[in-house]
């Protein structure tokens, strides 16, 4: 079964998060995720507030930038949250936007090396292991959490370029494919991740979480074109699900068929009626999202066009510049 959730964007003020999470839970949406964009809401505080305001819905963060946080400190935070709200935390980490990391003096010269050191250390700490690492970025000397989670917390890592996708397959429990990922891009990513996992001798399931820009109703295609421009998305990255429920469901189905295990619907950054949008998302979430393609609507090609690169979030994949 694929899971369907929603995203609460940091373009909304923090005080709107709790009621949004409560509305999503009442609507029986499985998951609500937050971003941690510099310099807006903090991811840990947001996740904790949303969990405390609800009872059942899973709350995720995608992503927490690894350069900003000592791995032991993040493990302590995540373990505490998991013990307070068992089974409901969805934890995602990533490189972070390089320009933002540079602004705070945390830019890693080799984000790939950081991920290779950081994610296994975080997974080990959250599994209750004693971890020692003497790496380029991560140094731990016989560190073990006193209060580890009762069960290990899956650690997901965001990836875009081929090298990063390979590393997420090697070291993480799942991969996050962020805004502007088409079904074809999902298929390519899944192939790279599987190849990397095979080469690393890793078995078991590997989650694929995909963000999907979504707008409902009359005029949604035109509104989404403006959203693409605001995000600086061009070409194949101008991918979204727009229109009536059937059209949006077809967009979700295309991602599930391509290999997504979780699809997260993302509203316009400045959605005027978030409650109505959430109710529309709930109708999509209520469908049976099994992995059998014959049970889904036939996918429709999402709108694509070219646009200027205006936002640092739309910069080229990090591994293009990573010397390793």
pLDDT tens per residue across span 55-92: 999 999 999 999 999 999 999 999 999 999 999 999 99
Number of CB atoms found within 10 A of residue 39's CB: 9
Q: What tokens were used for 244? A: 């009536």
How many CB atoms are located within 10 Å of the residue 58 CB?
A: 21
Under 8 Å between Cβ of 64 and 122: no
| Parallel, antiparallel or unpaired: strands 207-216 and 58-65 | unpaired
Q: Which CATH class is domain 3-64+156-320?
A: alpha beta
Say if residues 187 and 258 touch (Cβ distance below 8 Å). Answer: yes
Give CA–CA dist 241/262, Å, rounded.
15
- pTM for the whole structure: 0.91
What's the angle, vertex CA 257, arms to CA 255 and CA 262, rounded to 5? 50
- Residue labelled with tokens 């995000």: 231
Instruction: State the DSSP string of 65-129.
Output: EGGGS-HHHHHHHHHHHHHHSTT-EEEEEE---HHHHHHTT---S-HHHHHHHHHHHHHHHHTT-
CA-to-CA distance for 204 and 189, rounded, in angstroms?
A: 17
pLDDT tens track of the chain, all 324 residues? Answer: 899 999 999 999 999 999 999 999 999 999 999 999 889 999 999 999 999 999 999 999 999 999 999 999 999 999 999 999 999 999 999 999 999 999 999 999 999 999 999 999 999 999 999 999 999 999 999 999 999 999 989 999 999 999 999 999 999 999 999 999 999 999 999 999 999 999 999 988 999 999 999 999 999 999 999 999 999 999 999 999 999 999 999 999 999 999 999 999 999 999 999 999 999 999 999 998 864 433 444 444 444 433 333 333 433 445 545 644
Please state, in angstroms and rounded to a whole number, the distance separating the CA atoms of residues 75 and 87.
Answer: 16
């Amino acid at each position: 079964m694929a899971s369907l959730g929603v995203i609460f964007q940091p373009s909304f003020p923090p005080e709107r998060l709790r009621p949004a999470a409560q509305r999503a839970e009442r609507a029986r949406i499985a998951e609500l995720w937050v971003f941690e964009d510099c310099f807006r809401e903090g991811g840990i505080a947001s996740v904790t507030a949303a969990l405390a305001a609800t009872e059942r819905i899973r709350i995720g963060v995608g992503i927490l930038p690894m350069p900003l946080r000592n791995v032991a400190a993040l493990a302590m935070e995540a373990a505490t949250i998991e013990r307070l709200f068992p089974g409901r935390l969805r934890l995602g980490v990533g490189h972070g936007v390089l320009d933002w990391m540079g602004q705070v003096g945390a830019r890693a010269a080799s984000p790939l090396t950081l991920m290779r050191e950081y994610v296994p250390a975080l997974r080990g700490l959250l599994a209750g292991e004693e971890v020692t690492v003497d790496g380029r970025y991560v140094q731990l000397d016989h560190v073990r959490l006193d209060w580890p989670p009762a069960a290990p917390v899956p650690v997901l890592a965001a990836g875009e370029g081929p090298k990063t996708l390979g590393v997420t397959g090697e070291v993480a429990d799942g991969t996050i494919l962020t805004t502007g990922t088409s079904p074809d891009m999902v298929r390519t990513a899944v192939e790279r991740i599987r190849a990397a996992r095979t080469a690393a001798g890793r078995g078991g399931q590997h989650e694929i979480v995909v963000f999907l820009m979504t707008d409902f109703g009359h005029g949604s295609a035109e509104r989404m074109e403006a959203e693409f421009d605001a995000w600086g998305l061009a070409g194949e990255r101008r991918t979204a699900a727009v229109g009536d429920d059937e059209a949006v469901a077809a967009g979700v189905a295309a991602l599930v068929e391509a290999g997504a295990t979780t699809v997260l619907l993302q509203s316009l950054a400045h959605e005027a009626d978030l409650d109505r949008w959430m109710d529309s998302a709930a109708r999509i979430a209520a469908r049976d999202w099994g992995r059998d393609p014959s049970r889904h609507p036939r996918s429709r090609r999402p709108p694509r066009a070219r646009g200027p690169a205006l936002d640092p979030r739309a910069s080229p994949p990090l591994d293009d510049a990573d010397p390793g």
